[in-house]
């Protein structure tokens, strides 16, 4: 698409990969909707930036997807759900994740950096990158 237009495209995966590389992260966990974690569009772009992406197993994917759509999208935050999602993150940390991408705009309503033993990367940072690019 970039070849067809004159306006530069700022891809969310590229901005996230830059933040991961700046933090020295080579293997990262991705939490998001079922669609995002099972499709290649984000994972492949991150992998092209030399960042290994791991995702939860099906039970973790289903849990996070349910929490996003049945709770967070409705403005509901349950401490039990937070504990369950943190368990998923801790399992991915045990599997070698050096950081975790909160790949859905609702997840930061539930998970904060101080909740995790590993660095948290919020993909809404690409909005900051867009603003910075616009101002430069």
CA 58, distance to chain mean position in Å, is 17
DSSP letter string, 12-67: HHHHHHHHHHHTT-SEEEEE--HHHHHSHHHHHHHHHTT-EEE---HHHHHHHHHH
- pLDDT tens column, 84-110: 999 999 999 999 999 999 999 999 999
Confidence of residue 132 (pLDDT cuts 50, 70, 90): confident
pLDDT score of 72: 97
The closest of 53, 56, 105 to 85, measured between CA atoms, is 56
Contact between residue 24 and residue 18 where contact means Cβ atoms under 8 Å apart: no
pLDDT at 5 over 90: no
8 compared with 101, residue with greater pLDDT: 101
Q: How far apart are CA 7 and CA 9, in angstroms?
A: 7
pLDDT 10s digits, 28-60:
999 999 999 999 999 999 999 888 999 999 999
Complete domains list, the chain, with CATH: 31-125 (3.40.50.1860)
pLDDT exceeds 90 at position 111: yes
pLDDT for 59-71, tens place per residue? Answer: 999 999 999 999 9
CA 62, distance to chain mean position in Å, is 16
Both tokens assigned to 134: 């616009």
* C-alpha span between 54 and 71 (Å, rounded): 24
pTM of the full structure? 0.90
């Amino acid at each position: 698409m970039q070849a067809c237009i004159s306006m530069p495209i700022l891809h969310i995966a590229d901005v996230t990969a830059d933040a991961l590389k700046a933090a020295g992260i080579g293997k990262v966990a991705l939490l998001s909707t079922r669609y995002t974690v099972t499709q290649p569009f984000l994972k492949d772009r991150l992998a092209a930036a030399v960042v290994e992406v791991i995702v939860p197993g099906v039970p973790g994917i289903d849990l996070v997807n349910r929490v996003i759509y049945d709770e967070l999208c409705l403005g509901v935050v349950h401490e039990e759900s937070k504990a369950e999602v943190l368990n998923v993150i801790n399992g991915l940390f045990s599997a070698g994740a050096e950081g975790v991408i909160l790949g859905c705009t609702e997840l930061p309503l539930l998970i904060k950096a101080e909740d995790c033993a590993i660095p948290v990367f919020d993909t809404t940072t690409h909005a900051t990158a867009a603003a910075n690019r616009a101002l430069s």
